[in-house]
Chains A and B, each alone.
Chain A
Amino acid sequence: MEVTALLLQGIFTAFEPLNLGLLIFGCLVGLFVGAMPGLGSVNGVAILIPITFIVPPTAAIIFLAAVYYGAMYGGAISSVMLGIPGASTAVATVFDGRPLAVKGEAMTALTAAAVGSFVGGTVSVILFTLFAPPLAEVALRFNAPETFALMVMAFATFVGLGGDDIPKTVFSILIGLALSTIGLDLITGKPRLIFFGMPGFLHGINFLVLAIGIYGIGEMLWTLEETKGKVQMSKLSVNMKEVGKALGALKKTFLAMNIGSFLGFFVGILPAAGATPASLMSYGITKQLSKNSSEFGHGAVAGVVAPETANNSASTGSMLPMLTLGIPGSPTTAILLGGMILWGLTPGPLLFTQEPEFVWGLIGSLYIANFFTLVLNIALIPAFLMVLRIPFAILAPVIFVLCVTGGYAPTQSLHDVWLMLLFGFGGYVLRKLDYPVAPAVLSIVLGPLAENALRQSLILSDGSMGIFFDFTAKPIAAVIMYIAIVLVLMPAFGPIYRKLFKKA
């Protein structure tokens, strides 16, 4: 088979000394960048692009893909160890990874994250290899209505994430969406909600500012109050028994791995979606389908596996539209795309035939990167666990330093650091009063995507919402939309169904 020959050639390319060396170095850098709160794969890749001018394009893309990949693994580390998502892609990993770490099972959480990432990455790169050309066609059919339907589906899966207090949960979703509308309105080109005319609001509110505020500053204030600044975090031993136990727990997460791998890949190849919605959707769906959905949020291993499998799978998937269409599937691939143009390559349908060494070298390197990142990640877990052994009184200021620098770095604006402090304090107060904060973070990430897709669709349909439900004109959008409606109604019907069932 032709694909096999090309793939072997690609793996061979990836094993060349320069490429292999860069690959391993890239994985390490990625793990580190991903683990830093506020720095994700986007920052890592953007920052390292200038370095790649000195090597050939194939080595450059292998290096950057390894950074991207490693960051997906690394994001889980700070989610679990510090309770702060290292990147938006690891937001969902906090939900169960953090409770596990607090229970003293950080080892289990980290192993689950690593193995889940490996499974997701591997499944997705195999799918990538087999279906690259036909899937490029699917991606091309995803226009505004389909994207909006997908976003509705993503929001539908969040419904199950909130607490018991419905007005407070809905408030949290709405405030996230409202915050996401600040800044320039793409459709009319007008600035919106520029409070007090401050120019810092012109770029809108970066989700990182809210996420670092709530999960960094807010979380620290909460922990300070709980521990009164005295208590040291629980100690942990690292040995093979722990790893074995963790692997045992993974057997039960078959469902989560399947959902994460396939859903992640599918969402990843859709333009503009990327790994963040993929990991959130995977978490939401796994929770709804799981037999033990009540354990989610209190340290379910499957709750770590689902998002981690999905984000790795999606990051591989998002390279597909980048290579075949020249359309970035995620913010990180947008930067990779810029890099490719600078190296003198034209991303697009012809790349596979014109630059086979580049494309297949990249695909081959993904197989190898997956393996190395797994090994490096597991090998470095003892080092990550040392974070937990640091007394809280020392850890807290270090985290504040990371939050302040992480809040400043992406936009280079002190304005955002102030906002981050405000969100941190607000998040702390709201959390104490049982307002769920996760939905707000999720909505601020997806809000702009959803709004643009909605309004583009409405321009096309002359303002009719019918465009989303028309099976003949937009079959893909309609199918996704109806699935989303079923998903919204499922938690509502769940209790009724159970009642009827029990009584019968």
Chain B
Amino acid sequence: MTLIKKISLVLVSLSLVAVSSVSSAKPFEPKKPIELIIPAGQGGGADEIARLVQGVIEKNDYASKPVIPINKQGGSGGEAMTYVKKKAGDEHTLMITLNNVLTTPTNQPELGIDFFNDFTPLARLITDTFLVWIATEGKNTQGVETFDDFIALAKQGNLVAGGTGSMSEDELLLGMMRGQFGFDAKYVPYSGGGAVAKGLVGGESDFTLNNPSEQMGFYQSGDSKALVMMTPERNSAFPEVPSSYELGYPDLEYYMMRAFMAPAGIDAEVEKYYTGLLHTVYSDNEFQTFNIDDGKLMSWLEGFGLKDFLAIEYEKHAEIIKNFN
């Protein structure tokens, strides 16, 4: 190596250091505890994941400051979204999403939320699946063994569906199914997934469209059974439950996304930091095992892929709501 080359190398490396120190002094580190806003109540699916993420970060010291989950369940996520919108530029606020962030801006235009410009999407970690559940001893669903049996029965008479509140995911899903299969059913809203599951086994409702974790206890004890999972493939947590594709209903596909967003107007460095933190959590063994055992799909998505996904989902939900009304 010649002297000139050596000198030029040193110069280049020096200038690189100089440039990097000018453009972004140091990678971002949180300066205070990170607020994790949950747009749902305590004990629900989103709350469960948020607290799991908090636990995993805390246990393994993935972040230098603690994560503090805060429930803002008002107005189907409207309260949480308004809060995060107001926090534009705040570097210590995250929000976990469920599908109500896709429906609430359309359902409640008076809140003035612009889904695409008020938030910075970071990453999607998980998609939760939906199944059609009936009680094993259900008095109105005796003899129903398959999803087709169920549809035939539903077309005959007024079955009662239990769900987690009006205009929530499961009511929209029920609306989709009504249109697709041409049956009618009463919809009784409950205050949470657990209460919905109990209403089914207690004989108050005839079927529900629960997430796996909400019915897991009754499923394992044999008190409730699932007829179909609304996915292209079977799931290892429910090996005997057919997928909707297998049964020939590829239109019957629906997911609940568990993604994380930050307020709008944060620096790229901050965005990178939180996306990295979430990826560390996502790759954590405990986190993976817990979710897979629970019948959830691990589905990391970030960057443009996530933005496209959100745009498609948002339009899809706006369409469902339009048809529903």
Interface residues of A (CB under 8 A from B): 46, 49-50, 53-54, 140-144, 183-191, 197, 199-204, 271-272, 325-328, 331, 334-335, 337-338, 341-342, 344, 346-351, 411-412, 452, 456, 459-460
- A411: chain B residues at CB < 8 Å are 72
> Is the pair B168, A338 in contact by a Cβ cutoff of 8 Å?
no
Instruction: Name B220's contact: one of A142, A341, A350 (CB within 8 Å).
Output: A350
B303 interface residue (CB < 8 Å to A): no
**B83 and A199: CB pair below 8 A?**
yes
How large, as a class, is the contact surface on chain B?
A: 35 or more
Residues of A within 8 Å of B253, CB to CB, are none
B310 within 8 A of A: no
3 A-B pairs closest in CB distance: A348-B217, A203-B74, A189-B166
Greatest chain A CB density within 10 A among B75, B160, B201 is at B75
| Chain-A contact segment, one of B24-32, B143-151, B176-184, B185-193 | B185-193
- Given A326-B217, A342-B55, A350-B221, A203:B48 Cβ within 8 A: no
- In the complex, which of the residues A142, A201, A341, A452 contacts B191, with contact meaning CB atoms closer than 8 Å? A452
- Would you give the shortest CB distance from A122 to chain B, in whole angstroms? 28
Report yes or no: A202 in contact with B43, Cβ–Cβ below 8 A: no
Partner of A189, one of B83, B165, B204: B165
Check if B199 sits within 8 Å of A53, measured CB to CB. no
Q: Pick out which of these stretches binds chain A: B103-111, B126-134, B243-251.
A: B103-111
Q: Is the CB of B43 within 8 A of A338?
A: yes
Contact present for A143 and B191 (CB under 8 Å): no
> Are B51 and A349 touching (Cβ within 8 A)?
no
Whether A143 and B199, one on each chain, are in contact in the complex, defined by CB atoms closer than 8 angstroms, is yes
Q: A143-B204, A184-B76 given; name 7 further pairs at CB < 8 Å.
A: A50-B54, A189-B76, A202-B78, A203-B72, A337-B43, A349-B218, A460-B186
* CB nearest neighbor in B for A322: B194
B191/A53 in contact, CB under 8 A: no
Instruction: State A188–B194 Cα separation when bound (angstroms).
Output: 20
Chain A residue numbers with a CB within 8 Å of B188 are 144, 456, 459-460
**Contact across chains for A338 and B48 when beta carbons are under 8 A apart:** yes
Interchain residue pairs with CB less than 8 A apart (27): A49-B51, A50-B55, A50-B58, A144-B188, A184-B74, A186-B191, A189-B76, A199-B74, A199-B75, A202-B74, A202-B75, A203-B74, A203-B79, A272-B191, A325-B201, A334-B192, A334-B194, A337-B43, A338-B47, A342-B48, A342-B52, A348-B217, A349-B217, A349-B221, A452-B190, A452-B191, A459-B186
Interface positions of B from 211 to 236, Cβ below 8 Å from A: 213, 216-218, 220-221, 223
Contact partners of A348 in chain B: CB under 8 A: 216-218, 220-221
Task: Indicate if the CB atoms of B202 and A143 lie closer than 8 Å.
Answer: yes
Q: Is the CB of B75 within 8 A of A186?
A: no
B202–A140 CB distance below 8 A: yes
A199 to chain B, nearest CB (A): 4
Chain B stretch 32-70: residues in CB contact (< 8 A) with chain A: 42-43, 47-48, 51-52, 54-55, 58-59, 70
Q: Is the C-beta of B195 less than 8 angstroms from some C-beta in chain A?
A: yes
B309 contacts the other chain (CB 8 A): no
Contact B43 A199 (CB under 8 A): no
B82 CB-CB contact with A under 8 Å: yes
Residues of chain B contacted by A347 (CB below 8 angstroms)? 217
Question: In the bound complex, do residue A327 and residue B194 qualify as a contact, i.e. CB atoms below 8 Å apart?
Answer: yes
Cα distance A335–B44 when bound, in Å?
Answer: 10
Q: Tell me the B86-112 residues at the A interface (CB within 8 Å).
A: 107-108, 110-111
Partner of A199, one of B82, B194, B290: B82
Is B167's CB under 8 angstroms from A189's CB? Answer: yes
